[in-house]
């Protein structure tokens, strides 16, 4: 059973999905938020999971990342899951957790990296969007994809409506991908996601 730490900044619905889906392959043993009062912290506390707030304000990126890193290592985390964590992590941090650090992004990567995804997808007239779980590498949203799920984009969609449809599949996709990683079904090798047959 792998010890998983989840980093959040806000709402935490993916965190809730990951908590609900825990099985023999992984246990969430720590939730860290850079934002005090984040809704996700309550979700963790309700599930009896230890939480930690590490504010980023007034610190250099390296100092902030070092604090997070210390907390993760003190908790013996084996996998680090970003779930709505709104800070860019330094190259040093990312390299230190290479192959054990994953993120979920609300688009079909490599399309629509970055922010305001749903707005841009609708403006471009796309027929399909979705969610991607990927290994984190230093370049933003550019890591090898572990799992993806698609949803239709409807002509009447607002960014909010599309976000809700994508979020729904995120909640199924993320636990599946974390289980795959926790059981050795996928690994990062020479910059590629390698799957076991």
CB of 60 to ligand GRF, least distance (A): 24
H helix intervals, 55-196: 61-74, 91-96, 117-123, 159-182
From 56, 105, 118, 171, active-site residue: 105
CB of 197 to ligand GRF, least distance (A): 29
* Number of neighbouring beta carbons within 10 Å of residue 89: 24
Percentage helix, strand, coil, to 5, in the chain?
35, 25, 40
* Binding region for ligand GRF (CB under 6 A): 10-15, 83-84, 104-106, 167, 170
SS3 of residue 153 by DSSP:
coil
Question: How far apart are the C-alpha atoms of 166 and 106, rounded to whole Å?
Answer: 7
105 is catalytic: yes
Our CB check for ligand GRF shows the closer of 105 and 179 to be: 105
Number of residue whose CB is nearest ligand GRF: 84
Our CB check for ligand GRF shows the closer of 54 and 167 to be: 167
Contact status, residue 138 vs residue 94, Cβ threshold 8 Å: yes
Question: How far apart are the C-alpha atoms of 193 and 156, rounded to whole Å?
Answer: 36
CB of 190 to ligand GRF, least distance (A): 26
Our CB check for ligand GRF shows the closer of 83 and 108 to be: 83
CB of 182 to ligand GRF, least distance (A): 19
* Number of neighbouring beta carbons within 10 Å of residue 162: 22
Our CB check for ligand GRF shows the closer of 66 and 144 to be: 144
Active site residues: 105
């Amino acid at each position: 059973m792998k010890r998983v730490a989840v980093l959040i900044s806000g709402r935490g619905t993916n965190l809730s999905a990951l908590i609900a889906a825990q099985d023999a392959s992984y246990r969430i043993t720590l939730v860290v938020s850079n934002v005090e009062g984040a809704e996700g912290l309550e979700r963790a506390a309700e599930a009896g999971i230890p939480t930690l707030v590490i504010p980023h304000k007034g610190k250099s990126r390296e100092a902030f990342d070092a604090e997070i890193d210390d907390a993760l290592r003190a908790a013996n985390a084996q996998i680090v899951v970003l779930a709505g964590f709104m800070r860019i992590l330094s190259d040093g941090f990312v390299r230190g957790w290479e192959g054990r650090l994953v993120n979920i992004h609300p688009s079909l990567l490599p399309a629509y990296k970055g922010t305001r995804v749903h707005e841009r997808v609708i403006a471009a007239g796309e027929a399909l969007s979705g969610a991607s779980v990927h290994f984190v590498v230093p370049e933003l949203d550019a890591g090898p994809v572990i799992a993806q799920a698609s949803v239709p984009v409807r002509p009447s969609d607002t960014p909010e409506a599309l976000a809700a449809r994508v979020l729904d599949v995120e909640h199924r996709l993320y636990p599946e991908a974390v289980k795959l990683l926790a059981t050795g079904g996928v690994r990062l090798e020479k910059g590629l996601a390698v799957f076991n047959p």
